[in-house]
Chains A and B, each alone.
Chain A
Amino acid sequence: MELLIATIVRGVGIGSTYALIAVGFVIIYRATDVVNFAQPALVILGAYFNALFVFNYGLPFPLAVVGSMAAMALIGALTERVALRPMVGQPPFSAAMVTVGLFFALYVLAARLIGANVITMGDPWGLSRVDFLGTTVGQVDIAKTIISLAAIAVVGVFLQRSKLGLAMRATALDQEVALAQGVNVGRMFGVSWAMSGALAALAGVMIGTAGGGMVALDAFVALKALPVIILGGLDSIKGSVVAGIFIGVAEALTRTYQPGNADFLGANFDVVVPYLIMVIALMVRPYGLYGTKEVQRV
C-alpha cells in the first residue's frame, strides 16, 4: 500500500510536468494549427538557462526560474517570427515539419551548450522527503505537482478572463474573423509561442529537479507530451491535464510493478507505455478524450 501511494505520487509529479509541456503544445496548436515538435528542445534549453542563472550568476532559485521562463518566452516568440510566420497559409504538415527542423537545430544548440554534463537546477527540495498518507514521498514530487498545476491554472484564468486571453481565444476560433474584429493575429501567434516557451522552461526546470539532474538527451523525455496531447485531444487544456496525469501515473505504476510481474515485456517497458496508451486511445476515440471533432467539408 505504501509502495502504491509513493508510486502514484511520483506518477502525478511527473505527469503534471507532462501536462505542463502538453499545455504548451495545445496553446500553439489552438492559435496557429501547428503541432510544435520543437517544444522538447525548448524544454531543455529552459532547464539550461535556469542552471546558468543559478550557478553562473548566483541568482536565487525562484528568480532563476522566472528568468529562464522570460528568456525562453523571448526565444519562443523569436522562433515564431523567423521560422513559423512565413508558413502562415501553408498546409499544417509543412509547418509541422518546419518545427521538426527547428527541433534539430535547437536541440543541437542545447546539446552543445550543455555538453556531456549533467546539469542540476539548484532547487531547494533536493532529495528531502515528507510524510504523506502514512508513507514518505519525495518533496520534489509534491512541489512539481503544485507548481505545474498552479501554472496551468494561471494560464487557464489568463485565457478566460483577460482581454489578451480573449483575443487569443478568438484567434484560435477563427483567424479571419478575429482579424476583422481588430485582433492583431500575428501578435497573438507571437504571444502564444512566448507563453508556450515559458511553460516549456518551467517544465524543463521541473524535469531537471529530479534526483539525477538533467542531460541533453532528456529532450526525448519531453516528447512524451505528444501521447499526452493525443490522448487529451489536440486542442483541449483540460484534456492535457487529465491525460498528463493519467499517463504519468500509468508510467510510474508500470515502472514499479512490471519488473517481477510481467518480465516478458522486457526492461524499461515503462518508456513505451505512454505510446501504447495513445494507440489504444486513438482506436477508441480518434480525437482524444476532449478534442474537438474535425469538421470536414468537401
Chain B
Amino acid sequence: MEKTVNQRAWLLVLPVLVLVAFSSIIPMMTVVNYSFQDSFGENIFFWVGLEWYQELLRSERLWDALGRQLLFSFIILMIEIPLGILVALSMPKKGLSASVCLVLMSLPLLIPYNVVGTIWQVFGRADIGLLGRTLSDLGISYNYSQNAFDAWVTVIIMDVWHWTSLVALLAYAGLSSIPKAYYQAAMIDQASRWNVFRYIELPKMRGVLMIAILLRFMDSFMIYTEPFVLTGGGPGNATTFLSIDLVKMALGQFDLGPAAAFSLMYFLVILLISYVFYTVMITIDKDEAKQ
C-alpha cells in the first residue's frame, strides 16, 4: 500500500480554526467563566459553582419568558408559513409582473429591525398612529402599551408583516422548480386544485419549507429589537421574551453571573430545538425515500 496521507492539509484548516476561536470560542468561554462566578464590580469574582443555574431553573421569571417565547414562535409559524405559501401560489409565474412582485415582496426584508419597531410603534399609537387612531375612532378600544392582548396582537402582526415575505420567496423558488409536465399530468388526471397543491406543489416545496420553518423558528426565538422598540417588553412583562429578559438582567440589573448562565442556557435551548427539528426532518426524508 502506498497510500498518500497529506499532512499539509491541516495547515489549510488552521486559519479557519483561529478565526472561529476568536469569533466564538473565546468570547463564549468568557461567558462560561462568568456563569460560574459572582462579581461585585471592581473585577472581584467569587466561585459559585452551579448556583446561578440552579437559581435560574427555579426562577419563575425565566419559565414565564420561555413560555411566552415558545407561544410567540408557535403563533407566528402558524401564520407565516401558510400565508407565505398562499402568497407564493398567487404570485405571477413569469414576465415583468413576476419581477415587480419579487421586488415588492423583498422590501420589508430590507428594513432594519429597529425601524420596523419604530414604524409600528408610530402606526399603532392611539393618538397619532394611523392604525391606532382609526381603531379608536371605530370605537374599538386598542392600546398596545396598556393592554397585554393588544400588545401581543401588534407584535405578531408586525412580525408577520416583516417576515412573511421571506417564506413567500422561498416557497416561490420551490414552486418555480416544478416542471410543467406535472401540471399537465394533473390536468389529464383531472386533479382538483386542492389535489394539485396537496400532491404536487406541497411535496415539491417541502425542502424549502423546512428551511423556512427552521429559519423563522430560530429567528423568532431570538427576537429582540422589534418588540423592544415597540413595547419595551410591556405592558408589565407581557411581551418580555427571553432575549429582552436577558438584556434586562445583564444590563439593567448588571447581574453578570445569572445573565451569563441565562445566555448559555438560552443558547443550548436553541441548539437543542434546532437539532431535534433538523434530525426529525432528515429522518422523515430518509424514511420516505426508503419505503
Tell me, yes or no, whether A binds B: no
B interface residues with partner A (beta carbon < 8 Å) = none
A interface residues with partner B (beta carbon < 8 Å) = none
